[in-house]
Amino acid sequence: MKIELLEEDIPEFSNEMMTLTQVFATFKCGEDLQMARYNFKNQPEIFQNYPQVTQMLEKKDVLPLTLVDGEITLIGDYPTVEDLTEITGLSFQNLGCEEDCQDCSCQ
């Protein structure tokens, strides 16, 4: 399975974005699951690989787009950890948390 996140620009920092970045980095080169993020400002050529994305870009406020195996599954919002769990059947809740973590949402 391949999940791709197409975004307009690098988003502002937040805990949610940090978690999403960590999830995508962890599965960047996975065997059964591959995840990739592309940003229109720096990688516009990637967006042209998908005719359905090119059509969507003619409308306003469609980015970010989430694609699963090339099909658009989420429009205008970043996927949450819960969204990714629903799509993949995997849990992403405790990624990157250390055993002695004091300030993680995983506790």
Can you give the chain as a three-state secondary structure string?
CEEEEEECCCCCCCHHHHHHHHHHHHCCCCCCCEEEEEECCCCHHHHCCCHHHHHHCCCCCCCCEEEECCEEEEECCCCCHHHHHHHHCCCCCCCCCCCCCCCCCCC
Q: What's the mean pLDDT in 2-12?
A: 91
pTM score, two decimals?
0.82
> What domains are there in the chain, each with its CATH number?
2-88 (3.40.30.10)
| pLDDT for the residue numbered 96 | 55
The pLDDT tens digits for 71-89 are 999 999 999 999 999 999 9
Model confidence pLDDT, tens digit, residues 21-52: 989 988 888 888 999 999 999 999 999 999 99
Q: What pLDDT does 52 receive?
A: 93
